[in-house]
Amino acid sequence: MKVLAFLLAALAAASANDAILAELGLIPFNGGQYLLSSFNASWVDASNFCKSIGFALVDIDTEEDHVTVTDVFGAAIPDRVWIGGTDLGREGSFYWGQSLRDFSPNETYWHEGEPSGTSLHGIKEDCVQYRRLVNDTEVLWNDAPCELKYQFICEVVPAPCA
């Protein structure tokens, strides 16, 4: 009986969390390790929003991260979604907002011709997003103007090592 009560309490807590997430406009993936926003925000607002709920705009640190994020979101991934990469304040030298790890413009997951640095209209592009191109099944990175509003992905921040 105690076990059943515990399970019911756990289930209630889980659905309460889902209800709270839905209220915040967030769709959980991978057991809530990743959250896709259902609303658009600039890169800075997206990053601050993730922080405000104890998460971070997702860093892609390994091939596994890339595969997980693109797999998990699958068809749910919008055409463009902000992730944690940026070269704000240091043009051409990209880093992840959460880990502050540098990553090279030559790193694997850029679309061909990216990072382009500026848009066709000459606007600076300092923030990184996954972008799905028409007729291209691969979802890869693009740098885009930070103030444009897109959906975004928050991830659980790993606990610091003791």
Contact residues for Ca ion, defined by CB under 5 A: 87, 114, 116-117, 125-126, 142-143
Rg (CA), the chain: 17
Nearer to Ca ion, 87 or 155 (CB): 87
Least distance between Ca ion and beta carbon 125 (Å): 5
How far is Cα 140 from Cα 151, in angstroms, rounded to an integer?
Answer: 15
Nearer to Ca ion, 61 or 114 (CB): 114
Q: Are 149 and 37 in contact (CB under 8 A)?
A: no
How far apart, in Å, do the first and last CA atoms of the chain sit?
38
Nearer to Ca ion, 65 or 114 (CB): 114
Least distance between Ca ion and beta carbon 67 (Å): 23
How far is Cα 90 from Cα 52, in angstroms, rounded to an integer?
Answer: 25
How far is Cα 56 from Cα 86, in angstroms, rounded to an integer?
Answer: 14
Least distance between Ca ion and beta carbon 38 (Å): 25
Nearer to Ca ion, 73 or 141 (CB): 141
Least distance between Ca ion and beta carbon 80 (Å): 11
